[in-house]
């Protein structure tokens, strides 16, 4: 209870007066939903009509090669396997929907009203309080994304595939009557189930129209859409969740028979999608949430809606251009192998996927899929070959990464440099942008003026990643603080300090000070330490002959302040401090060095990063320490000479 009260206190501090009023009204709606116990009988409407024509979407499903389903495994999600006892072959038992793989307990189902369930007081590991694990784990199978591959097989005419899909839908409906249990608490989960069922309906229109299936599918979509209308993510919550709600309403409104209510759903969904595309993908293509994977997720939702809208000859206005710019930015973040740094949060959410198939190159897949949707050449350097790329018609050819380029994404705050020095190719990303989106900045990390570095196609300076959400507790906070990122911290403080899993006590504001593409030099500053110390941290990064230099200073400092500089290393990189120089080696070969000013000390210590959701691993990090003031100090990163340099 105490944790829940702390969360409410942190959330309340981010809300405007209008939002507080909205939340009060919402509480009344939730109270009425708590009292409803009639189950699916409470969902009324005309369930005798026909579904909308989704033949174009079916044709898209048929163009997906069956090879994309290699590895399909509905028992595997978020890197964890659900026990076989929750399945009959590949069909689910009702126990699947509530099984928590962390505590091995069952979350509440029909016996408890959805809005009475505490989804935040969870634990990363089994504990004495018998708390559940992160709610993400129980939600994942209930997105019904096993239907995506079954829909592909049904569209190819495989006997029994549609029936297998309906077995999943019926099992979920039997265990989850409207407004009861853990699966009616989140709009984004509800919206993604609409996506899954829409794909199944599109895969075989004749089968979906059978009387024994049609009324169930119509009731399913009606219940889900009506929830989204009543509990929208507005104000500080209007991030990627709002886009998901728009997608869910848009699809439900188009698929349901042409009633006035269905037209209202479609119209509202269209309005949300067109509005949020302009807000959540900035004019330079950077995602407003300051997370490449959440940007990819948002773009995938917009792209699926556009795919369907085009088939009906009513494309979404303004969406194509934002997707085009977003793809260009995400392509700039890619290294030669298609990986991007784990900037901000990443919970591995997908819109169109093949259950059980890992997608380590998700962002590259999004970039390639956007090229297919837009009918343009791909700006991705790899085509991972996932289901979504085939659905969107990703082209055969991929792009070649430029050896030298300087790209300034001013609205989003990123500078991306590709260059060469001492016979090495390097790819550097510098962040002088905002913490995140809206007053909550839910998925941003305190990484202002941080940098990420890749050398010769291998990561060197990395991001700490996400790990878990509510159940991560203090470790979740640690991975979001400045000390976990490749930037400077003053006296052990973070530039922005977390107050809960998705909110902040204070938010540092960044600004651009200097940009010189010709000389390859950039500078930014932030005010995260202004309140506590009366200073603003400024950082300049500039090219030199054998690498680059980092110049930090504290603007307004009257006396020097104790500070630390952190550089988190990729797992394969080894570091050693010798005579004021930090030597960095890869597989026994010297790669680079950090020349430490005489005013600072250097040490190598154990660090932590999360390579995927729910996984923590050890690595090394370099920590420099000393005093810094207005005059600042300079740290040089030099690449080791090669035989060809």
- Exposure of 494 in the CB half-sphere (CA atoms within 13 A): 21
- Residue 401: the pLDDT is 82
From residue 481, alpha-carbon distances to 474, 524, 608 in Å are 11, 19, 13
Q: Which helix (H) or strand (E) holds 57?
A: helix 55-62
**537-593: per-residue pLDDT in tens?**
999 999 999 999 999 999 999 999 999 999 999 999 999 999 999 999 999 899 999
pLDDT reading at 1 higher than 60: no
pLDDT reading at 130 higher than 80: yes
pLDDT (average), residues 233-253: 97
pLDDT band at 4 (very low <50, low <70, confident <90, very high): low
> Can you read off the two tokens belonging to residue 125?
């590991």
* Angstrom distance (rounded) from CA 62 to CA 152: 6
Q: Which of 3-7, 93-97, 232-236 has the lowest mean pLDDT?
A: 3-7
- DSSP summary character for residue 281: B
Residues 523, 526, 529, CA angle at the centre, nearest 5°?
A: 135
Strand partners, 623: 566, 603
pLDDT, mean over the chain:
95
pLDDT band at 126 (very low <50, low <70, confident <90, very high): confident
> Can you read off the two tokens belonging to residue 383?
């085509």
pLDDT reading at 7 higher than 70: no
> Can you read off the two tokens belonging to residue 188?
């984004």
The domain limits of the chain are 2-237, 281-400, 405-639
pLDDT (average), residues 52-61: 95
* Angstrom distance (rounded) from CA 446 to CA 181: 35
- Residue 100: the pLDDT is 95
Asked if the 405-639 domain carries CATH number 3.30.365.10, the reply is no
* Angstrom distance (rounded) from CA 148 to CA 195: 9
pLDDT reading at 645 higher than 70: no
- Residue 3: the pLDDT is 63
List of residues 6+ apart from 627 with CB closer than 8 A: 560, 561, 562, 563, 599
* Angstrom distance (rounded) from CA 470 to CA 567: 26
pLDDT reading at 644 higher than 70: no
**491-500: per-residue pLDDT in tens?**
999 999 999 9
pLDDT reading at 481 higher than 90: yes
pLDDT (average), residues 520-534: 98
pLDDT reading at 5 higher than 70: no
pLDDT (average), residues 515-539: 97
Check: CB of residue 568 under 8 Å from CB of residue 607: yes
Q: Kindly state the percentage of the chain with pLDDT values over 70.
A: 98
**334-372: per-residue pLDDT in tens?**
999 999 999 999 999 999 999 999 999 999 999 999 999
pLDDT band at 35 (very low <50, low <70, confident <90, very high): confident
Residue 257's region, left for phi above 0, alpha for psi from -120 to 50, else beta, is: beta
* Angstrom distance (rounded) from CA 115 to CA 431: 39
From residue 561, alpha-carbon distances to 150, 488, 534, 622, 626 in Å are 60, 12, 11, 20, 8
pLDDT (average), residues 154-177: 98
- DSSP summary character for residue 50: P
* Angstrom distance (rounded) from CA 315 to CA 304: 11
**595-607: per-residue pLDDT in tens?**
999 999 999 999 9
Residues 535, 537, 543, CA angle at the centre, nearest 5°?
A: 150
**Alpha helices (runs of H) in 520-618, residue ranges in sequence order:** 530-533
pLDDT: is 631 or 38 the higher one? 631
**272-328: per-residue pLDDT in tens?**
999 999 999 999 999 999 999 999 999 999 999 999 999 999 999 999 999 999 999
pLDDT band at 200 (very low <50, low <70, confident <90, very high): very high
**142-165: per-residue pLDDT in tens?**
999 999 999 999 999 999 999 999
Check: CB of residue 354 under 8 Å from CB of residue 386: yes
């Amino acid at each position: 209870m105490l944790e829940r009260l702390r969360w409410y206190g942190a959330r309340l501090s981010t809300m405007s007066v209008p939002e507080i009023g909205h939340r009060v009204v919402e509480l009344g709606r939730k109270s009425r939903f708590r009292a409803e116990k009639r189950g699916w009988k409470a969902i009324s409407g005309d369930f005798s009509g026909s579904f909308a024509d989704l033949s174009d979407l079916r044709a898209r499903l048929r163009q997906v090669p069956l090879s994309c389903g290699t590895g399909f495994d509905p028992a595997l999600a978020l890197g964890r396997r659900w026990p076989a006892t929750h399945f009959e072959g590949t069909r689910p038992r009702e126990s699947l929907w509530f099984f928590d793989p962390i505590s091995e307990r069952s979350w509440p189902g029909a016996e408890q009203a959805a809005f009475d369930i505490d989804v935040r007081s969870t634990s990363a590991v089994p504990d004495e309080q018998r708390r559940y694990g992160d709610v993400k784990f129980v939600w994942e199978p209930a997105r019904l994304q096993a239907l995506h591959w079954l829909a592909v097989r049904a569209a190819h005419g495989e006997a029994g595939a549609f029936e297998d899909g309906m077995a999943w839908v019926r099992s979920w409906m039997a265990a989850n009557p409207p407004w009861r249990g853990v699966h009616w608490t989140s709009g984004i989960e509800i919206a993604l189930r609409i996506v899954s069922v829409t794909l199944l309906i599109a895969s075989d229109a004749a089968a979906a129209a059978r009387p024994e299936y049609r009324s169930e599918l119509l009731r399913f979509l009606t219940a889900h859409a009506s929830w989204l209308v009543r509990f929208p993510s507005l104000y500080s919550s209007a991030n990627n969740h709002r886009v998901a709600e728009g997608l869910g309403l848009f699809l439900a409104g188009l698929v349901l028979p042409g009633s006035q209510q269905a037209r209202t759903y479609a119209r509202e969904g269209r309005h949300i999608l067109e509005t949020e595309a302009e807000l959540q993908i900035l004019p330079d293509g950077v995602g407003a949430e300051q997370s490449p994977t959440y940007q990819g997720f948002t773009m995938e939702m917009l792209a699926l809606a556009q795919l369907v809208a085009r088939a009906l000859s009513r494309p979404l206005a303004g969406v194509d251009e934002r997707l085009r710019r977003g793809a260009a930015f995400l392509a700039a973040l890619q290294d030669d192998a298609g990986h991007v740094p784990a900037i901000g949060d990443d919970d591995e959410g997908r819109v169109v996927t093949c259950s059980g198939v890992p997608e380590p190159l998700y962002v590259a897949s999004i970039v390639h899929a956007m090229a297919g949707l837009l009918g343009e050449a791909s700006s991705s350097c790899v085509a991972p070959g996932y289901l979504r790329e085939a659905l969107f018609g990703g082209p055969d050819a991929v792009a070649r990464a430029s050896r030298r380029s300087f790209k300034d994404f001013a609205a989003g705050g990123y500078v991306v440099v590709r260059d060469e020095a001492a016979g090495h190719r390097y790819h550097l990303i510098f962040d002088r942008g905002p913490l995140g989106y809206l007053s909550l900045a839910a998925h941003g990390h305190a990484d202002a003026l941080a940098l990420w570095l890749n050398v010769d196609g291998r990561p060197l300076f990395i991001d700490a990643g996400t790990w878990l959400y509510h159940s991560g507790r203090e470790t979740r906070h640690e991975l979001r603080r400045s000390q976990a990122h490749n930037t400077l911290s003053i006296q052990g403080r973070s530039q922005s300090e977390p107050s809960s899993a998705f909110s902040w006590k204070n938010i540092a504001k960044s600004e651009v000070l200097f940009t010189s593409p010709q000389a390859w030099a950039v500078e930014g500053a932030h005010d995260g330490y202004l309140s506590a110390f009366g200073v603003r941290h400024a950082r300049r990064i500039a090219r030199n002959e054998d690498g680059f230099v980092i110049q930090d200073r504290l603007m307004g400092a009257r006396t020097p302040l104790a500070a630390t500089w952190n550089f988190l290393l990729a797992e394969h990189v080894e570091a050693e401090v010798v005579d004021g120089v930090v030597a960095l080696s890869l597989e026994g070969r010297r790669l680079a060095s950090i020349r430490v000013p005489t005013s600072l000390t250097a040490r190598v210590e154990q660090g932590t990063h999360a390579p995927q959701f729910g996984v923590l691993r050890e690595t090394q990090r370099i920590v420099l320490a000393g005093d810094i003031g207005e005059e600042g100090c300079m740290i040089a990163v030099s690449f080791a000479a090669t035989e060809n340099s």
